[in-house]
Structures are given as structure tokens and as C-alpha cells.
Amino acid sequence: MAFIMTQKRIASIANELIFDARYKLEPRELKVLLHLISLLRPEDEHFGIMRIPIKDLEHLLNPERKKWGNAYKEINTFCLNLLDKKIVFPEQYGYKGGINWVAAAVPVLNEDNVICMQFEFARTMSPFLLQLQKNFTKIDPDEVVKMTSAYAIRLFEMLKAHQDREKSFKRYKRDNDGVVYYEYYKNLQELKAILGIPDKYPKHKDFNRRVIIPAQEQMEELSSLRFQYIPKKEGRKIVGCTFHVYENTPRTQVVRLSKKERQDKQMKLAIVDYQRTGLSPTQEKALEKLIDFGVNKSLAKELIYQHCATSEIKGREDQYVAFCLSKIEAARKRRIQEVQQGKHNKRVTPKERRGGLVKPAFEKNHYFSEFMEMLSATRNQRRTRPVSNRSTNQQQDHSAMKIGDILKNSPFNSENK
């Protein structure tokens, strides 16, 4: 029976393979093996053959779509290397043994004449991957597909297995902030052996810099787990380490959006919130100013929802709108004057049509940065003004209210009408 990679699956792996096996694989070898394991059916008694279309295999090997010199050579080298990779377990009866990960990796054509790479697990792997009823861990391959550190992937498997095991026994602790975490202790030499680096990084600072820190960063950014690492000393020597394992929301799900996508998302949330709760008093004033300027009511509401919903101007929406309208009107009058003086021969906007000038100015944030700079300058002046002399304060209040003066004297302020 052949399994073709068509839909998302979860990899189920026996805990003995995660906690006790010693092996060193490249990051992309770990990713492909996890995907192959995810294609297995838990109820099967024997391994079938698994076919991955070459294009899907390319994506697993190169998820960032970096430029390859020769894709054929890369895939051939990868498959031949994977055939040689072994798993070693701790000594039994004084002897060591090993198991090959895969027994075959052969290019074939599937039923649709698509070139695939056909893999087959070694038969001796079946106790660790098939007919699993207990003491196993489910891992989503998508959580590790963008990790670039093999140590991060391996530690993620170990900490995920430990977390699931501790959850089943409800063994957890809380930190000073009340956040739940699971504690996992490991002898340092044993941990290095499991990671396939028993004799590497004899200095702990190198082990921490090369193994632990990259794993921490990548797991927190990309996976459902994060951890704190606490070395254990005996005298001056570090002999073990404790992991505090926390549940995590990957940062990629939150911030890996373009600036425009983040703004659109923020505005959509704001629209839903405002439609539910109504406009605030300052937003109502801003709406009135837009309508008085000649903007129709539906467009005015849209501009308030979408371009006056940022936290930077919360409570000052009416001031921001008045500031923008004064700038728009000044620009309109300046153009009229330039045309009258013969400097330009361009079409000018009459007063009854000036409402059409507002939308592009708000959509492109023409005056937002200028308003924020003026607001920041006003706040700084207020912070630095002396408090000893009342008359001096009154003079500085006059200069500090630069924005207030501009807005108060604006023809779009309802108090001046």
C-alpha cells in the first residue's frame, strides 16, 4: 500500500524513541522524517511505502524557497545521506546496536505520472511508530518546518513528550506570576548524548550559545512551547539542567504580517468594536467636523473607523481631524492663489466640492506624522516647564498650547461658528 502526501497529519512517536534514542540528524532530515511518520496510520501493523511528490519534498527541504544551485543534486544527496543515518540506543548486555531510519528511498512515478520519492521505514522501527496505545507523543510537523536548528527540533520533541506526560498526571507548577509550567530535569552528559554531541562543546558557555539559546529563540517564535533553562552545578562544574516548559503562542502567528496587513487587521477590529459600542465623544466631534467640511456621513464614519482608530490619537480624534482639515483647506487656498497668480494652470477645487479632498489625505496619512510630532513637542514642553513662578507658567502654558491654539482658531472648530 502506498501513502501519498495529500493532507495534514500528526506524527505519533513512542516516548522511548524520543527520550532514549541517540542520533544526530540535519534539520531537514528531521523535518522529512516527521512528515513521513505523520503519513503512517496508527492502526497499521506493518509499514507501507510512502510517496512524497518531488515538489513537496523540495518544499520540506527548502521551506524558505532559497535559491538552489542544482535541485536534482540536492535531493539525490539528501536521500543517499538519509539511508545511512542510524539510531543508537544505550548499551544492553554490554553491547551497542543500531537501527537505520529508512530502508529505501527510490524515485518512482505515481498513478498520475508525477515523479515522487518513495520511502520505506526499516521493519525494526515498527515498535516505535506503529500500534501505539500508550506512552507516545503526537507532534505536528508544521511546528518545526521553519526551524533551522536540529537541536531546537530535537528539544521540542523531548519537551513536548515530557509536557504531555506531566499533563496526564496533572503534575505542574506555577511561577511568580501564576503561569503554569512543567519541570524537566536532565543530566547534562545524557542530554548531549541524546542530541548526538556527546563530546562536543566541553565548555558550557559554548553549549549554551550554540545549542540552548538558538533552541529557545526558535521554539518561542515558531512553536507551541517555550522554555527557561536553569543549569545545575556541583561545585564549579555544571552536571545537569532543569527546563521550565511553558505553553506558548508562536510570535509568527501574531506579528509576521506586513505593515499594511497589520493596519488592516487593527482597523477591522476597531470597526467591529465601534459598531458595537458606538463612537466616543471625541470621535463624535471629529465626525461633525468632517460633515461640516463637506464629507458625506457614511464616508465620514468610514474615515473615523479606519483612520482615527489608532491608540496614538485616542481621545484626540477631534483634534487630529481638525488639524488635517486645516492643512487640507490651506493647501486648497494656496493652489487657488497660485492659479490666480499664473504660477500654475491646474484645476482648483471649489469650496462646495472640497469634501472630496479629504479621503486621500486620510488614507495616505499625509498629516499624521506632523500631528504626532507637534503633539510630542507639546508634551515635552509641559514636562520641562518650571513650576516655581506662576507668571512664567502662564507664559509657558501659552507656548505649550501650540496645538490647542491652532485647533481652537481653526475655522473647522464648532466653537468658532
Q: Answer with the one of 102, 122, 141 that is the final residue of a domain.
A: 141
If asked whether residues 273 and 401 sit together in one domain, one would say yes
Picking from 84, 85, 61, the residue whose alpha carbon sits closest to that of residue 71 is 61
The stretch 316-334 carries a mean pLDDT of 90
CATH of the domain at 181: 1.10.10.10
Sheet holding 180-187, edge to edge: 173-174, 180-187, 237-247, 225-234
| Residues of the chain by 3-state class (helix, strand, coil), percent to 5 | 55, 15, 30
Of 86, 60, 88, the closest CA to residue 74 belongs to: 60
Confirm if 332 and 412 have CB atoms less than 8 A apart: no
pLDDT band at 150 (very low <50, low <70, confident <90, very high): very high
Which is nearest to 71 in space by CA: 27, 115, 109?
A: 115
- Give, to the nearest 10 degrees, the angle between helix 150-168 and helix 27-38: 40
For residue 255, what is its C-alpha cell? Answer: 506579528
> pLDDT digits over 260-313, tens only?
555 555 555 454 444 444 678 888 889 899 998 989 888 888 888 778 777 778
* The last residue of a domain, from among 256, 278, 294: 256
User: Do 232 and 270 share a domain, yes or no?
Assistant: no
Q: 392-410: per-residue pLDDT in tens?
A: 444 444 434 444 554 445 5
Average pLDDT, the chain: 81
Same domain flag for 86 and 159:
no
Report the C-alpha gap between 91 and 100 in whole angstroms: 17
**CA separation for the pair 160, 242 (Å, rounded):** 15
Which one of 234, 256, 278 terminates a domain? Answer: 256
The whole-number pLDDT of residue 390 equals 42
**Residue 86 domain boundaries:** 1-141
Burial of 53 (0-12, 13-18, 19+ CB in 10 A): middle
In which band, very low, low, confident or very high, does the pLDDT at 364 lie, cut at 50, 70 and 90?
confident
Helix (H) or strand (E) holding 118: strand 115-121
Cα gap 234→240, rounded to integer Å: 9
**252 and 267 both lie in a single domain:** no
